[in-house]
Chain A
Amino acid sequence: MSTDRPDISVQAEPFDITAEIDALTRGRADVGAVATFTGLCRDEGGKLAALELEHYPGMADAEIARVVDEAKTRWPLTGVRVIHRHGKIAPGDQIVLVVTASAHRQAAFDAANFLMDYLKTRAPFWKKEHLADGTEAGWVAAKDADDQAADRWSASG
C-alpha cells in the first residue's frame, strides 16, 4: 500500500531544503511561519564510516502519511513536507527532513517536533552502523528516550 502523496517522499537521493521551503510558501500570503528539522548522520567521534538505512517499502510511506495526517488534525498547518532517505549515508549527510508551515510559529514548531518524535518510533526504518575501522557493523538499538518522547504527545494531547 504505497502512498503517492506529494507531501511525503522515501528516497535514496539527498534533498534541497530551500526548494522544499519554497514549495510550501511560494505564491502564498497566509503562511507566517515555517519550521524545518533536518536529521544528519553523525560520525560518533570518528568511529562511524556510514549508516545503512533499511526500510519497509510501501509501509514506510504509509506510516509517515498516517503521522502527517495526525499532525494536521492537531495543528492548523498550511503545509507539511516529510522526506526520509534510505540506503547508505555518510557522516555529515542528510537522513530526514520535516518542514511544517502555519500562520503562527507555535503550531509549526510543535508539529515538527511531534512529527520527528512519531517518525522515530513508528516509521519502519532501521539503521545499521558501518565502522571506520572496518569491523563488523551492528544494528542501532531503539532508545527508551525516543519512546518517552513520543508518549508525551499522547499524555498532553
Chain B
Amino acid sequence: MTEITLRYFAWIRERTGIPEERVQLPENVGDVEGLIGWLRTRGPEFDHAFETDSLVRVAIDQVHSNRDAPLSGAREVAFFPPMTGG
C-alpha cells in the first residue's frame, strides 16, 4: 500500500473541510483521474468538492499536472481551483 499526502486549497479545502491528510492509496488507483473518482466515494463533502470537474486543478509534488498523470512515486498530490493571484 502506498501512503501519500493530499492537500486541498481555497474552496476545495472549504468543501472537504480539511487542508491536508495522509491516505493509503487503493491498489486500483493509478492516476489522478482515478484518485478523484475514489475520493468522491469517500463522502458527500468530497463528492461536493470535486463535482465541478472543470474547475479542479492538480499538482503532483508541487508541479502542475494533468488528469492522466500516473501517481507512482508521488509523495504529495494537491487539488485547487484555477489560480487567481497576481
Q: How many A-B residue pairs have CB under 8 A?
A: 75
The number of chain A residues with a CB under 8 A from chain B is 29
Contact (A139, B86) CB under 8 Å given A1-B61, A56-B62: no
Contact (A122, B10) CB under 8 Å given A58-B62, A59-B59: no
Smallest CB–CB gap between B76 and chain A, Å?
A: 9
Q: Does A127 contact B (CB under 8 A)?
A: yes
Q: Does B81 contact A (CB under 8 A)?
A: yes
Interface residues of B (CB under 8 A from A): 7, 9-11, 13, 59, 61-64, 78, 80-86
Interface residues of A (CB under 8 A from B): 1, 39, 53-56, 58-59, 62-63, 84, 95-96, 116, 119-128, 139-142, 146
26 cross-chain CB contacts under 8 A: A53-B85, A55-B85, A56-B78, A58-B62, A96-B86, A116-B86, A122-B64, A123-B85, A123-B86, A124-B59, A124-B78, A124-B83, A124-B85, A125-B86, A126-B9, A126-B10, A126-B83, A126-B84, A127-B85, A128-B10, A139-B10, A139-B11, A139-B81, A142-B81, A142-B83, A146-B86
